[in-house]
Amino acid sequence: MNFQRRAMAIAAITAAAFSVPAQAQTEIQWWHSMTAVNGEWVNDLAKEFNASQKDYKIMPTFKGTYDESMTAAVAAFRAGNAPHILQVFEVGTATMMASKGAVVPVGKVMTDAGYKFDPKVYIPAVAGYYTSPAGQMLSFPFNSSTTVFYYNKDAFKAAGLDTEKAPATWAEVALAAAKLKASGHKCPISLSWQGWTQLESFSAWHNVEFASKQNGLAGLDARMKVNTPLHIRHIENLANMAKQGLFVYKGRGNVPEASFVSGECAMMTTSSGFYGNVKKNAKFAFGLAPLPYYQDVPGAPQNTVIGGASLWVMAGKKAEEYKGIAKFFDFLSKPEVQSASHKRTGYLPITTAAYQLTEKSGFYKENPGTDVAVTQMVRKVTDKSRGIRLGNYVQIRAIEDEELEQVWAGKKTAKEALDAIVKRGNEQLERFEKANK
């Protein structure tokens, strides 16, 4: 090559070097189901992480309800274009665990990328739920919630009730509801996520089994157990309250929550993750309290079970992408990030360090009741209250909704509906067990 040609080649290489931008960011697709204030929170977390480093870009995408996003991800996985990270509600955990080859355990993702990963730093009830029987943590706890009791202090005041003392027992709930109705309240109490709050959490809170085999955590051959005398008594009591206009059914999932924020319903059992919405949008003073219980039941109150969702890492991605996912999960685990999220949303601080940081900041003192979710969950768990992990759980939840609606409408007795939940639920469990043997 003559000198002129060589000089031109060097110039071209130099120009090319300067014209190539810094290495392109690796994009990480994150599918989620968070709406309204919680959707804003998810977007802000992604922005904060993206601004904290240059190599990776988290791309959050809302994919519909938990049911819808899970269905979409299954279809995308089969077509070879699944997201990197999928938010799955706790109800889908057993299904994800059984999806061999579709997911990569979070512990493996973290250690492969060189991060120290210790499940012991997480609140035990949270870590235990997402850990396989072999002791491997499979998904990353993200928006873990539990069921709590919300009440409208202004409505309580108008009804002559103590605004600083929520009803602790179901008998007290009924008395408070009667006073609220007498003071002109059209909807004294409603329930969100009725299967979760009135059957699943209710069982753990009273230290009775929801299903055999430690509620499914000890094996795929678990069967439903929600037609005990205690379950029947509770659903019967709610049915009687419905007849008297003390309890008003407002729909499935979190649909009833809007009726609390608007002031229409004065009391509600729902997710601790509802806190951010109430704090931002309610035009009245409100309180948070532990779930009511039946005081004659030995061992009650025990502890509530986990709700919300975790983040699953999908299989078949590039090594560099897994490094980015690990870096993002490491960011999400930082106590200051966790604590800020907990204060903002009402979801649990998933690590003990984040809980301690929040406590030290004085947040719980300044916002009474915000520690209820944590204290309900950090109690010592029993084999009956560790959590519920059943196959085809999405379908079982739909069955719970269908049958309970028959009770509230006066078309079935509590016993008939609960017997049907057991029978139909067991059919789903048997089907799942056969498919995953």
Q: Where are the domains of the chain?
A: 26-144+307-366, 146-305+380-435
CATH number (1.20.120.530, 3.40.190.10, 3.30.70.2970, 1.10.760.10) of 146-305+380-435 reads 3.40.190.10
* Residue of 69, 119, 62 lying closest to 95 (CA atoms): 69
- Predicted pLDDT of residue 125: 75
d(CA 193, CA 173) in angstroms, rounded, equals 18
Is the per-residue pLDDT at 435 higher than 80? yes
Secondary structure element (H or E) that encloses residue 288, with its range: strand 286-289
Full DSSP string of 93-121: HHHHHH-TTTEE-HHHHHHHTT----GGG
Q: What is the pLDDT of residues 213-239, one digit of tens each?
A: 999 988 999 999 999 999 999 999 999
Is the per-residue pLDDT at 348 higher than 50? yes
**Is the distance from CB of 84 to CB of 30 less than 8 angstroms?**
yes
| Topology annotation, domain 26-144+307-366 | D-Maltodextrin-Binding Protein; domain 2 (3.40.190)
- Predicted pLDDT of residue 99: 84
Which of the pair, 255 or 378, is modelled with greater confidence? 255
Is the per-residue pLDDT at 3 higher than 50? no
Is the per-residue pLDDT at 16 higher than 70? no
**Is the distance from CB of 93 to CB of 310 less than 8 angstroms?**
yes
- Calculate mean pLDDT across residues 16-24: 56
d(CA 428, CA 415) in angstroms, rounded, equals 20
Q: What is the pLDDT of residues 336-345, one digit of tens each?
A: 999 999 999 9
Same CATH topology for 26-144+307-366 and 146-305+380-435?
yes
Q: What is the pLDDT of residues 56-86, one digit of tens each?
A: 999 999 999 998 998 899 899 989 999 999 9
d(CA 239, CA 127) in angstroms, rounded, equals 36
What's the pLDDT band for 7 if we cut at 50, 70, 90? low
For the ranges 176-185, 283-292, 293-302, 346-355, which has the lowest average pLDDT? Answer: 346-355
Eight-class DSSP state of 301 = S
d(CA 24, CA 64) in angstroms, rounded, equals 30
Q: Which two tokens stand for residue 209?
A: 């089994």
* Half-sphere exposure in the Cβ direction for 47 (13 Å, CA): 6
Is the per-residue pLDDT at 20 higher than 90? no
